[in-house]
Structure 1
Amino acid sequence: MTTPFPLASLRRPSFFTAAALLFAVLLAAGCGNGDSKPAQPKGVPAVPVTVVEVAQQATPLVVTAVGNVQPQATVQIKTQVGGIIVEQRVRDGQSVREGDLLFRLDPRPFELVIREAQARLDRNRVQLAKAAKDLERYAQLSKINAVAQEQYDKTYAEAKSLESDIQLNLATLERARLDLAYTVIKAPISGNVGMIQVTEGNVIKANDDRTLCVINQLDPVSVSFALPERYLTEVLDMQRSGSVPVEATPASSDAVSSQSGQSAPAREPVRGFLSAMDNAVDTTTGTIRLRAQFDNAEKRLWPGQFVRVGLVLRDKPDALLIPTSAVLDGIQGSYVYVITPDNKAEARQITVDFLSGKNTVLASGLAVGERVVLDGQVRLAPGMTVEVRPQPGAAPQSPQSTQTPQAGQSPQAAPQPLPAAGKGE
């Protein structure tokens, strides 16, 4: 009878076989790149991606912030004399120029005061003329002792008193004329009138607390905004070298037409310059308050409106840039997928210099002309084969706000990036 094998002898070859297979797998994995994922298995189709080439062009550093539009000047129109408003020559929201008539008060009480002051002045002048003649006559009689010295002194005092009265009459008359002039209220500055607070027919007191209306100067206007203090040195350097260009874009530029239902065309930014800087950094927020001035003849900027502000701090003449959507964040920092000449995906660490619009300006990591993946990164791993699908429209372009020419220069077209290329191109 045949003796069967022990169960242990049957299991032993199976254990050693499994161990050998596991060792072979670990050895094969160890021979690969420890920093990358396993290579794409054979037979797996190439991953479709869209790419864009690294472009090189002059790109300025544009710092953005949210600003608030403020009028260049604001005047509250109030009365300096009392009376009834007999004429209103301005309406709500009207545009006025300096010197335009706004309101008129009843002038008749002030005309009467002028007539009274003029009459007192004329009377005192006649009395002074008589006193001067009496004084001259008494002076001659005094020499021969024909008049008492007391009478002479009295006439002299009366003449001097009348001279003082005349000066007082002149001042009173001048004040009455000034009050009459105050009954005509004109615009002290050019601008736009707000809502009328006191209308025709109302009685108002002298130096009344009520405001008739408010005029805001809209051309030019100012925009107030704040920047982090880390930009303070660069802003100061730009100020020393000349005018600092600033752009403001109204936040309503993406408005939709209610009649056509179509999006309104994007508005061009309004261009101005940095006009003032606060004398201290706000220790609470760590920001510095700035003010820019803009010509506003078209009334595109309105007081109280919030705008996007772009401040051009410096230019990088040979900047390397890619769309920001191509940049990924990893444990070791920012990286992108670069497509090699044989259409393999390679993860590449990059150093970001600054952001410019929808683009990222690079400090290091890529060379001009290299292809980076713009769309399809989530399906990629290093070493995978890709199918390149060019997307020329996604090539990075310098943002419109960065094309502001310097003073004395004419605007030039920004150099266009190289087109994306596929396999064999």
Structure 2
Amino acid sequence: MAVGKSVFPEMPAIGGVRLGTAMAGIKKPDRRDLVVIEIPEGAAVAATFTRNAFCAAPVQVARDHLQQSAPRYLLINTGNANAGTGARGRQDAESCCASLADLAGVDAAQILPFSTGVIGEPLPVPRIVGGMSAAMESLDEAGWALAAEGIMTTDTRIKGASAQVELSGGTVTINGISKGSGMIQPNMATMLGFVACDATVEASKLQQWLRESVQVSFNSITVDSDTSTNDACTLIATGRGAPVESADDERRFREALTAVLTELAQAIIRDGEGATKFVTLDVEQAASVDEARAVAFTVAHSPLVKTALYACDANWGRILAAVGRAPVEGLDVERIVIDLGGERLVEHGGRADSYTEEIGSRVMAQEEIPIRIRLGRGTASATVWTSDLSHDYVSINADYRS
């Protein structure tokens, strides 16, 4: 189940970036579950990782390797998170890196590992190593769609986004794929996201721009308020294309990067486990961006709001109550205005005179539902995207390990 239609975009080749997939049988036979992404020499690489204290072994290793050497390959497996596995998990991640490094003829520190799947089970290293040759043999600059399939877990469809932007020195291409459907409330990235471009950018700037773009894209989505142990987002700039030099170049590039990440983030919400609704929460007139985000996430995380949206139940009081319990001091309810799908829902401390149950039910029956909240406290704003909460979400997660 997913919201709206999905068409995987055309992905122009980015010279030097090749993607290969294999069926390693990590959790299930006959499915793509191992991906290798080749990075050309001289590329700049930036990454953000989960802040979960129980961060997975591959997150620890990738973070360390990124500080030690210039990455040449990304190694991604599904079916096993290699999280909550202690010292053995770290050894297993390092062992996989060493095996791929031997195949590729690079240093082990030039491999960044990523894993997703069940937490707390030992990584099946022999299966992963056994699939590496096939993944390497299939490396292809046109391998984006197969790689997007190879990183899926409970996802029901592949997720990709691409953009081209004109800079003063020429056209730059940005391609990205992501995976994620449940355990989604990122705290710096998404479940997994891999983005590449052919721009020439300093590594320090690339890291800063990725972090800022992640904040308004992957860090602005939630399915179930759970932050994964394995979240990561990686951005590669090959340096083979136009440089990002002028202030206008920077603005254009960053807008395009944010657009790609936002499309990938929204695709995760549209494919949220059991989702039937795509919900946009716009909070305006806040005293700060943090305040606006606090209100938006309080509404987005409310099980009562999410189940009402699923049932098309115009129980508008649940939205009002969620706004009222947000961690914001001194809210003046007389100033708060809430619109549901363009219809006035709340004003002057209560239900708007123009609102009816029929209006609310009609809006909630839509697949895409905008909720606009104005706090009357300032000029800051924030947007968060979420989904509803259905019976299927419970079924998917109850049966996840079976």
TM tier, smaller: under 0.3
Higher relative contact order (CA 8 A, sep 6+): 1
| Largest Rg, 1 or 2 | 1
Q: TM-score, normalised by structure 1?
A: 0.19
The structure carrying a bigger helix percent of its residues is: 2
Q: TM-score, normalised by structure 2?
A: 0.20
The structure carrying a bigger strand percent of its residues is: 1
